[in-house]
A and B are shown apart, each in its own frame.
Chain A
Amino acid sequence: MECSIEDLGINFWRVFLESFAWATLQGFLSTFFSLILGGALGLALSFSQFKLFSKSFLAVQFLGDLFFTLPGVVSSFLFIVLFEGVFPGLTQGLESVIGCHVLFSIFWVASNLSFKMRTWINAGGKAEVEAQAVMGGGKFFDIFVVGPVGRKILRESRSLAPYLFVVFFTSFSTVLILGGGPRNSTPEVMLFYSLLHDFGSLRTWVWILSVFMMSWLLGGILKNMGLESKDSLIGLAGGAEKSQATENYLWGPWLASLQKNCSIFVQSFILIFVCFLSWGFFKFLSFDFSKVDLGEARAAFLGSFSFVGCVALWILFFSSFFMLPLRPLRSALNRFWLLGSGWYAAFFLTIGWGTRLQTPFEKFFVGSLIFSISLLPLISRWVRPLEEILTRSEVEAAKVLGANRKNLIFDFVLPRMLPFWGRIVVLGCLMALGDLALSTLFLGDTETLTTWGRRLSQRYNFSGMSLVATGLFGLSFLGFAVSRIFYRKNMNA
């Protein structure tokens, strides 16, 4: 039986269990399809790594970047624009959420796999493939499906599965827009509804704790099934050998950056296109930009940029570095961050801070800080290459020569972090503003403090906010470009 949002308080446990079951189902299905399709694309990309069809696969690589930075809110709206006219009614419910999740993550999965393949090839995988080719007569199936390449992709997919599942299980904005009502919702969305309609702080507490525990349990089950990555999530002294692939020609970084960021321009145009649809082309041209009412969103944006991007990154790397000797504890903390995901933010804020903090600035400051922590698992995945920033032999060589931990940080870790910093700040900002819906849980009502993420999620001033989103994507270009330039400088190897 469908219940209204106002009845949530009465039907608390039933709604909770329904949302949990629904979130689990859509999480599994989204993960499954993302890995199948992303794995296939990753396999295709691995061909290009072997220079078999490098030219032909430029298009695949381009597609791989297309949705890489697309936030959930934007992808949801895009999904509606693409399919609502063709399949009326499809864009509300399970299929739409899965479709959107897959659309959003398939290329990310493929890109991730592609990167791992590159590292693997440089670290000896090429020899493995060649040995297989010599022994097995070089049959395509033997090499790329059941052979070393296929096995490698399977291993990496297994390590991505729990992460993807947690992301889909805790999906907020996509489900809020496409879920189709209280029954088809994740617990996180239900939490949002419950806070929004204030059906009782005690119930909300119980809800949060229950979901937190179930999320934890689910993570434990996944781990016991052997699906969690065997690689350390954070390990500055461990990991595989670093990829040595670089471009040494003068314009290489700029061209590579342009190629990589074409997708971002495409996304910007998609947003403008969406803007046209809802507003009309001529109205758009005559739009008075000074009337875009950002309210205090500018402060929220700048603050989020600083806190969510920077704080999370620095917390991650300094904590991981100082946790190096504490292997079991480090591993436990990794799981704590990864599996808890965004729940900590909601948990802490709802417990008390959200109600005690008075001024918008206080709410914003503390909120951003907490969201920074909740972003750690995401960022730790984005910066996988950075986790392998120093190989064991590099660290040991430096220590034997006399370097202490401080020397390692200032001589190697920080210079090598720079290339990733710009990118992470931009992506972290996008993610925080677009997907985590910063304001919805704690920043008060729309009258006092607004972020564009909230306005988008509630379809307020959609066109104006799309322009802001377009501007943010422009920043991504800058971030990637800076990243490429520094990457070349630091990895000029």
Chain B
Amino acid sequence: MLKFENLIFGVPGKGKILVNGIIGNQECVVLTGPTGCGKTTLLRVIAGLEAPESGSIFFGEKKLTGLPPQEIKAGLVFQDSGLWPDLNIKKNLSYGFKFHFSLSRLEPTLVEEKIQKAAQFWGIEKLLERFPSNLSGGEKQSVAFVRTLLIDPPFFLLDESWSALDLEMRQKFLAQFKNFLNEKPKPTLWVSHHSEDLTNIATRIVAWDVRQQCISF
């Protein structure tokens, strides 16, 4: 589970935000709030990309605050995808493997098999040989999401991750991701402006209390 203990972080122009509470292992919490209130900053703080002012974040017994992002290895999916333009999609997908799996599991055939399987499951197998600049916004987001899934992160942080997907694709991803979480429960924090279509997957929807400048999970 993800646990927040008096976590305080700053948001430019908005002041300090206080976060408390727990996101359980079986939970998929959707966090909604107005633009610029600090939702993305919260995800960045959890992932170790930004330092909080005070307080702590725990994953189980492990204290995350103070650790670099490469040790936290959060399953953060960026809104702008963060794909590397000089690597094709297959290489983009396989890049994280060497940091997460032992050498024996890095056999090229195993990696290839794993990527093919995931790509087919998520419907991006036709994109594997292409480069990011030849992809639409929605396709980039799909790839970024699958890239995160492939490394089997301890928890998920999704930042408007499917905002560019068309409705059909979004519904398909939602259904598949719900199944995925049912099979492999992991704490998931999903940031979104709109929670309407996330009600199926969300175990809780938390609204950002702008006036109180605090979040309680």
Residues of A within 8 A of B (CB): 242, 244, 246, 393-394, 396-404, 407, 411-412, 415-416, 490-493
Contact = CB atoms under 8 A, between A and B. Distances in A.
B217 interface: no
Contacts, number: 73
Contacts of A490: 86
Contacts of B131: 492-493
B78 A397 contact: yes
Interface string B88-108: 000000011011100000000
A263 to B, nearest CB: 28
Interface of B: 44, 47-49, 68-70, 72-74, 76, 78, 80-86, 95-96, 98-100, 131-134, 144, 147, 151
A493 B85 contact: yes
Given A398-B95, A400-B47, A400-B49, A491 B85 contact: yes
Contact of B78 (A246, A393, A493): A393
Contact of A397 (B48, B82, B86): B82
B84 A402 contact: no
Contacts of B144: 397
A396 B84 contact: no
B73 A400 contact: yes
A493 B133 contact: yes
A246 B133 contact: yes
Contacts of B44: 396
A400 B132 contact: no
**Binding site secondary structure of chain B:** loop
Nearest to B132: A493
A388 B96 CA distance: 22
A400 B84 contact: no
- Overall SS of chain A's interface: helix
Contacts of A394: 82-84
B78 A396 contact: yes
Given A246-B133, A396-B49, A493-B86, A401 B73 contact: yes
Given A393-B80, A396-B49, A402 B134 contact: no
B49 A401 contact: no
Contacts of A491: 85-86
A400 B85 contact: no
A415 B84 CA distance: 12
Given A401-B100, A402-B96, A402-B99, 6 more contacts: A394-B82, A397-B144, A399-B68, A411-B95, A491-B86, A493-B86
14 contacts: A244-B85, A393-B78, A393-B82, A396-B49, A397-B82, A398-B84, A399-B70, A400-B74, A401-B99, A401-B147, A401-B151, A402-B100, A403-B70, A412-B86
Nearest to A396: B49
A398 B100 CA distance: 12
A288 B179 CA distance: 82
Contacts of A244: 85, 133
